[in-house]
């Protein structure tokens, strides 16, 4: 696995936040997504420190996107969660692996890494939200009934 479970939870949570700028409580978000509440709260706080989310304490508070979803890339979220250069380490674990001293997987991994990085910087949270909406629509009872006809 390239990324941690925390990064997956972060992307799920961010894609689930309302686009209208309203706040959502961490406990409500964790309940809807069926994610562990304390763990998700820590993830959301980390995203707020990275200025991807805004947070407000109190009964009318919670978390919301700091910018419109189409201005937040998946790559930005992954850097906030994994750290910059998370894909830069040698895939085989060698401490000295570079173009001058490549490991057996260096060339193949470099190509994969470039493709992953390109995808992460070109995809936004809005793309994730749209995919989620299409998926939900396709799995709705009405869509399933239409598919049987």
Token pair for 65? 């996107």
Say if pTM beats, i.e. exceeds, 0.85: no
Q: Which domains does the chain have, with CATH numbers?
A: 5-148 (1.10.10.10)
CB-based burial label for 52 (10 Å; 0-12, 13-18, 19+):
buried
Contact 14, 125 (CB under 8 A): yes
Token pair for 113? 């890494």
pLDDT in tens, 31-75: 999 999 999 999 999 999 999 999 999 888 899 999 999 999 999
pLDDT in tens, 94-129: 988 988 999 999 999 999 889 988 988 999 999 998
Q: d(Cα 12, Cα 41) in Å, to the nearest integer?
A: 13
């Amino acid at each position: 696995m390239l990324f941690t479970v925390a990064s997956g939870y972060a992307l799920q949570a961010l894609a689930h936040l309302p686009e209208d700028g309203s706040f959502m409580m961490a406990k409500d978000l964790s309940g809807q997504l069926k994610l562990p509440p304390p763990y998700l709260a820590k993830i959301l706080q980390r995203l707020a420190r990275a200025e991807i989310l805004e947070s407000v304490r109190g009964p009318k508070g919670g978390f919301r996107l700091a910018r419109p979803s189409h201005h937040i890339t998946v790559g930005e979220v992954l850097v906030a969660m994994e750290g910059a250069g998370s894909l830069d380490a040698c895939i085989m674990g060698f401490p000295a692996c570079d173009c001058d001293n490549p490991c057996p997987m260096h060339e193949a991994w470099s190509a994969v890494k470039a493709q992953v990085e390109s995808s992460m910087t070109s995809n936004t949270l809005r793309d994730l939200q749209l995919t989620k909406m299409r998926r939900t629509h396709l799995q709705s009872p009405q869509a399933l009934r239409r598919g049987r006809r």
